[in-house]
Structure 1
Amino acid sequence: MEKTATQKIKLGIFVIVGLLIFITTVYFIGKKQNIFGKTTEISSIFDNVNGLQLGNNVRYSGVSVGTVTAIEMINDTMIRVEMDIDDKIISHINKDAVAIISSDGLVGNKIISILPGKKNKIPVKEGDVIKSMKRLNTEDMLKTLNVTNENTAKITSNLVKITEEITKGKGTIGMLINDTTMSADLKEITQGLKESATSLSQLTTSLNSKDNVIGVLNDTGTANSIKQTLKNLENSSLKIDDAVKNLNTTITNAKEGKGAINYLSNDPKLVQKIDSIMTNINKASIKLNENMEAMRHNFLFRGYFKKQEKEQKKNQKNSSSK
């Protein structure tokens, strides 16, 4: 059956509308994925992409700025992820920016979050590789939480055992809690320690007093006097050492036949001469006394000696009167 013109017109309109809807859909999808805009390609190296896929979003400071265009395995520990970034945003991303693989929400799709740099203010260019940082994912957190829960269960179990033993009076702590006799003994010991501490405090106070030896030693003035006395004793000791050394030298010289002492003790002629001189001096002294006595009775000097006697008596009276 041939189609009428009306049916053909309806079919044409339907095809045109469907085509327009398809083009509009492709346009909006492409605009969202930056297919029709100018972009700059940069990349980052990760050791694990954690389920990242092509077409996932790239966000910079929480704003969608591009998409993941390629994921390339370099080796078993390095994976290159290439990203197309909108040219309007690329000038704000610096070379020291850091890329992190995170989730869009708690359990959403994986995305790449780029953290702004702070030190290097030079923007990235086509083909630059920015640093990456591993972020703790949900799986790692669950593993850590599982280990923590196991450790907590062990600690709780041990704590239950300990509290049961304490309640039953086992161990030192249980004995201290349940044994009334030991509690009384501990009270007595504590009281004795307090009394001992009081006595020790009183003893320390008395020792610091200046009425005893330790208190005197604590006095700075006494300490300085003792230091000065010790210093004087040290100086005297040094002088005595010098005198002993000189005396030893003199004795050594005398033994070796040196010096005047050895000469006097060992030369008999010199001793005889000294005895003769002393004898002559004694004789001269006797004759001098006889001459002085004769002059005292001589009429020429008698007045002089009487005058001298008067002056001596006068001086004696003056001194006695004083």
Structure 2
Amino acid sequence: MRISNAQKIKLGMFVLITGFILILSLYLIGKKQNLFGNTFKITAVFNNVSGLKLGNNVRYAGINVGTVKNILMLNDTMICVDMNIEEDIVKHMKTNALAIVGSDGLVGSMVVNIIPGGPDGLPLQQGDTLKSMRKVSTADMMSTLEITNANAAELTRELLEITHAINEGKGTLGLLVNDEAMGADLKETMGNLKTASAEVAKVLDEIKDVISSVNNEENLLHVLLKDSVSAQQFRSVMGNLEKSSEDINLVIGNLNEVITNVKDGEGAFNYVTSDTILVQDIGETVKNIKKGSVMLNENLEALRHNTFFRGYFKKQEKERLREEKKRQKQKEQ
């Protein structure tokens, strides 16, 4: 069976189109994997890559900038990941950037996220190793959640035990909840405390008033506390009082000694108080003195009416009346 020219043309067109599609597909895949563009190699070391595979994306600040080129396990705790980064992006990356392995969404493939470290870092060089940061995995979160649930269950159990003990009246809190008498006593105690606090507040107000009066410059206590001269004078007065007290004690001692001597029959005072004859003589003498004073008054009265002394007494009477009028005028003024 001969193949017509039309069939040959169709076959050729099919082969050309298929080849073009294959070449385009290879180019797109290679471009995605950075096979045909200029790339820059950097490295990061992780403790756990969490399912990272060759060809997974590398993102810088949320933008795809490269792919994972190689994964090499150095030891049981260190895994080296080589990455190819687009050369145009490297100039924006610094040595203080951080690499972290994460997932692309909740159930997507794993990616390497590079977090910018700030403007203080140096530009990256070919083959530099970035610092890595361990991200909390889902397994770690579940483990932590399991521990938290266990602690919550234990806490709930203990709270239930405390609640049962309170309901049964055990412990101080149980007594407070169930014992009405204790509750009344507590209420009375709180009332007493309230009253006491009010009294304390009143005392504090009084103390405040005292302090305010002390701050008054006209107050004696303020002068004693703030004025050094007045304080010195006050100390001098107190010293004089102390000395006077000592002198008074000395006088009292002397009086006690005199009284003792009188009681013991010593001295003239005891003689005067004890000798009855002397007392009688003193009485007679006093009577004679009174009698003599009466006679002296009579003689003075006789002299007043005598012709020789009458002018003298009148002159004395006029002087006395003049002095009385003078005093009267002074009182009226």
TM-score tier by shorter-chain length is 0.5 to 0.7
Decide whether aligned partners of structure 1 residues 221 and 50 sit closer, same or farther in structure 2, where only a CA change above 3 A counts: farther
Contact 2:223 2:231 in 1 (8 A): no
Q: CA offsets per residue over residues 51-104 of structure 1, 9 Å max, x none?
A: 211111001111111000011122232221111111121111122221111110
From 220, 223, 226, the counterpart of 1:221: 223
Tell me the residue number matched to 1:303.
none
Q: How does 1:110-189 map to 2 (within 5 A)?
A: 110-120=110-120, 122-189=122-189
Pair 1:82-2:82 in alignment? yes
Counting matched residue pairs gives: 231
Q: Which moved more, 1:90-99 or 1:54-63?
A: 90-99
Alignment partner of 2:80: what SS? strand
**Distance apart, 1:222 and its partner CA:** 2.4
* Structure 2, unaligned runs of 5 or more: 240-333
* Structure 1, unaligned runs of 5 or more: 237-322
Take 1:218 and 1:147, find their aligned partners in 2: how far apart are those partners? Answer: 74
Q: CA offsets per residue over residues 271-294 of structure 1, 9 Å max, x none?
A: xxxxxxxxxxxxxxxxxxxxxxxx
Alignment partner of 1:72: what SS? strand
Tell me the residue number matched to 2:37.
37
Pair 1:95-2:95 in alignment? yes
Tell me the residue number matched to 1:240.
none
* TM-score when normalising by structure 2: 0.60
Take 1:127 and 1:46, find their aligned partners in 2: how far apart are those partners? Answer: 16
Q: CA offsets per residue over residues 172-202 of structure 1, 9 Å max, x none?
A: 2122112211111111111222222333344
**Distance apart, 1:215 and its partner CA:** 11
Contact 1:95 1:120 in 2 (8 A): no
**Distance apart, 1:219 and its partner CA:** 4.3
Q: CA offsets per residue over residues 105-149 of structure 1, 9 Å max, x none?
A: 112111011112213354312212222111222222222122112
Decide whether aligned partners of structure 1 residues 225 and 231 sit closer, same or farther in structure 2, where only a CA change above 3 A counts: same
Decide whether aligned partners of structure 1 residues 230 and 167 sit closer, same or farther in structure 2, where only a CA change above 3 A counts: farther
Alignment partner of 1:163: what SS? helix
Q: Which moved more, 1:19-28 or 1:6-15?
A: 6-15
Contact 1:208 1:215 in 2 (8 A): no
Tell me the residue number matched to 2:26.
26
Decide whether aligned partners of structure 1 residues 207 and 55 sit closer, same or farther in structure 2, where only a CA change above 3 A counts: closer
Alignment partner of 1:195: what SS? helix
Contact 1:209 1:215 in 2 (8 A): no
Contact 2:215 2:222 in 1 (8 A): no
Take 2:234 and 2:83, find their aligned partners in 1: how far apart are those partners? Answer: 88
